[in-house]
Structure 1
Amino acid sequence: MSNKNEQVDPRIKRTLLLIRDAWIGLMEEKGFEHVTVRDITERAGINRATFYLHYKDKYDLLDKVVDDMMDEFSAAFRLPSGFEASDFIKDTDTPPDSFIRQFEHIAEHVYFYKVMLGPRGLPGFLKRMESIIQDSLTHRSIIAQPNDREVMMPRDLIVRYSTSAHLGIIMYWLENDMPYTPKYMATQLVRLHGLGSTRLFNTEA
């Protein structure tokens, strides 16, 4: 859950987690449109009155859970305040903490991401992730080189390419049941961003 719930009574936090987990499980089984509040409360082991203490309906639940998760996803990727171009890591074997945090966040909530990005997930969810990544990479590109005239090709093309690669790596990791650690994945992502796919193939052999 998001930081907004950090000061909430532990019993309420547990109830919210039960509701969220029940909803995600039902989403995977039959899709959002077929899930009812009764389904959720029965799966969570709570009564309907308890559900309505926290959410107006299943659409309110959807909005709040997704918003919370996207807030966490964005926060994990966020650069520290005062970050400057000189702070960028030049070593492609040393990923920035923000890249590692993003994979750690996804690993912590892997079931949620697998369901939301799967065949019974929400069509617009991938776009929200993509938008967060794109905004962050745009911000990083401006820090690295604020002058568009010094960029070798249109900035939006670079960012769009990098966003697709970034999201593709995340999707691969999830689709293959996270065979590598968050740090390993973050390192490979830095190599792709820094070297490009062509230079990563050893053609000297």
Structure 2
Amino acid sequence: MHKKTDLRILRTKQSIRKAFYELIQEKGYESITIQDIADRAIINRNTFYLHYQNKPDLLETCINELLSELKDAVVLCPVSMNPFSISILETVMKTVLEHISCNKTFYYAMLIEENRIYQFRAKMENIIKDKLNGVGDPSQGQSHLAISKELLLEYLVSAFMGVVNWWIKNDQPLSVEEASSQFSRIVSYGHLKAAGILVEE
């Protein structure tokens, strides 16, 4: 009996979150009411309050749980003595896109268009930055950098998130593997050479 009750609670929470994500896309977070969520999830308001205190609590719970899953997956990516290794960038991108594929509605609601949740993007960027900045031995491979390490990290994370946003917004036009591979080639060779454009001196 206990297992059946747990399953029912899980399904209710999933319905609430699905409704929440859809409504963010349609009308924006600020415009959503608890009644909107309840109506879309086909529950009553009292059922909503059994699981969440209010709308901010629901948002924070959704963000924290999904980003915790993402962080756990990214942490498991292989490490390298070189924190800016092309293979690391490709592997992390592949891991992130795979996670997005399993949670498309959530990521679209959080990252795309005028209804996006800015705090979500900032937290996601920090996960990527921490991975790139934290792998390997901090004393290895960085003393010879010809540019600021902080600037390099900002550039890589911005490019990374730009690809992620493009991939989500355009309904995953490339496979996870191809998008990850092309991203690593752009970073490795520069955008013109990666695109096969001959640059005259």
Query: TM-score, normalised to structure 1's length?
Result: 0.81
Distance 1:106 1:10, change over 3 A: same
* CA distance in structure 1 between the aligned counterparts of 2:60 and 2:87, rounded to whole angstroms: 40
Distance 1:32 1:139, change over 3 A: same
* CA distance in structure 2 between the aligned counterparts of 1:159 and 1:88, rounded to whole angstroms: 9
RMSD, aligned CA:
2.9
1:125 maps to 120
2:74 maps to 77
Which of these residues, 50, 57, 61, is aligned with residue 60 of structure 1? 57
How much has 1:88 moved relative to structure 2? Answer: 9.1
After superposition, the C-alpha distances for 1:118-152 in whole angstroms (9 at most, x for unaligned) are 21122332222222222222124x54863542222
The letter of the residue matching 1:154 is S
| Stretch deviating more after TM superposition (69-78 or 33-42) | 69-78
* CA distance in structure 2 between the aligned counterparts of 1:200 and 1:145, rounded to whole angstroms: 30
Is 1:166 the counterpart of 2:160? The answer is yes
The letter of the residue matching 2:71 is S
Distance 1:144 1:85, change over 3 A: farther
The answer (yes or no) to whether the contact 1:24–1:112 under 8 Å persists in 2 is yes
Is 1:193 the counterpart of 2:190? The answer is no
Query: TM-score, normalised to structure 2's length?
Result: 0.83
1:44 maps to 41
- What 5-or-longer segments of structure 2 have no aligned partner? none
- What 5-or-longer segments of structure 1 have no aligned partner? 1-7
* CA distance in structure 1 between the aligned counterparts of 2:188 and 2:140, rounded to whole angstroms: 18
1:4 maps to none
- Which secondary structure does the structure 2 equivalent of 1:153 belong to? coil
In percent, how many aligned pairs have the same letter?
Answer: 31
